[in-house]
Amino acid sequence: MTRLSVNINKIATLRNARGGNNPNVIQAAIDCERFGAQGITVHPRPDERHIRYSDVIELKKVVTTEFNIEGYPDDRYIKLIKEVKPAQATLVPDKPDAITSNAGWDTVKNEKFLQEIIAEIKKSGARVSVFVDPEIKMVKGAKNAGADRIEFYTEPYASHFHLDKVKAIRPYIEAGKMAHEIGLGINAGHDLDLHNLKFLKDSISHLDEVSIGHALICDALYLGLENTIQLYLRELM
């Protein structure tokens, strides 16, 4: 079964909009796990507009499933990984002011940079995943850089799903086959929801994990968090 990691950034965004500690990000993570989530994902950004670096420290104390920390590998991120020692570090190429991730790494152009970063992160014991577009050369580049897994950037799939889902998924299938052949684990994330998740999961062989935040939290406003997590898990069976 493909594992579900819940990205709780949006819960932190809601908290930060009003100040105080409501909703409680730490309790939300505990509840997500209690409701069936098999991982918790956070993506702290330099301006701390949602998850704060202090949240990550506190979350480490309570998360009992896989803790995944996403981020651009600057000095502050590397320091955080070394201190927290999460199960997984997911490297994204976002600029500091990016609203959300909007592309994968050019793992060919940045191979040397990623090699050095990945080697440093692995000293903490974390598994390293690299955010990539569904291109075979980028998958191979991630392998050459020393990554353990890739995470497919799935916004292009999601945005074209209702137009032609077979065409939209095709590059992910081919890139996924290559990833498995060369020994990389496969994660996926960005704009996945209850409409497009099952087709993705059924189409990509050996899909280890999906990381879902925005759509899941939006659905939870209508359906409740526990029910929503169960619905997402059902799509991954």
Question: Which pLDDT belongs to residue 99?
Answer: 60
Strands 39-42 and 149-153 turn out to be unpaired
> 189 near 151, Cβ under 8 Å?
yes
Contact (Cβ atoms closer than 8 angstroms) between residue 41 and residue 70: yes
Distance between CA atoms of residues 165 and 7, nearest Å: 25
**What is the C-alpha to C-alpha distance for residues 225 and 191, in angstroms, rounded to an integer?**
18
Q: What are the structural domains, with CATH classification, of the chain? A: 3-235 (3.20.20.70)
What pLDDT score does 126 carry? Answer: 98
The reported pLDDT for the residue numbered 151 is 98
- Active-site annotation holds for 190: yes
Which structure tokens are listed for 33? 């796990």
**Burial tier of 124 (Cβ tally within 10 Å: 0-12, 13-18, 19+):** middle
User: In the annotation, is 43 catalytic?
Assistant: yes
Provide the pLDDT for residue 97: 64
Instruction: Give residue 104's Cα distance to chain centre.
Output: 12
Residue 100 pLDDT: 65
Q: Which of 70, 151, 209, 235 is catalytic?
A: 70
pLDDT tens for the chain, residues 1 to 237: 899 999 999 999 999 999 999 999 999 999 999 999 999 999 999 899 999 999 999 999 999 999 999 999 999 999 999 999 999 999 999 876 666 667 899 999 999 999 999 999 999 999 999 999 999 999 999 999 999 999 999 999 999 999 999 999 999 999 999 999 999 999 999 999 999 999 999 999 999 999 999 999 999 999 999 999 999 999 999
Q: Is 216 strand, coil or helix?
A: helix
What pLDDT score does 95 carry?
A: 72
Both tokens of 115, joined, read 């090699």
pLDDT at 164: 98
Please identify which of the residues 151, 190, 209, 235 carries the catalytic annotation: 190
- The closest of 128, 87, 136 to 108, measured between CA atoms, is 136
Cα 71 to Cα 9: distance, rounded to the nearest angstrom: 12
Q: Which residue has the tokens 């075979």?
A: 136
Q: Which of 33, 43, 151, 209 is catalytic?
A: 43
The answer to whether 235 is a known catalytic residue is no
pLDDT of residue 103: 87
| Three-class DSSP category at 188 | strand
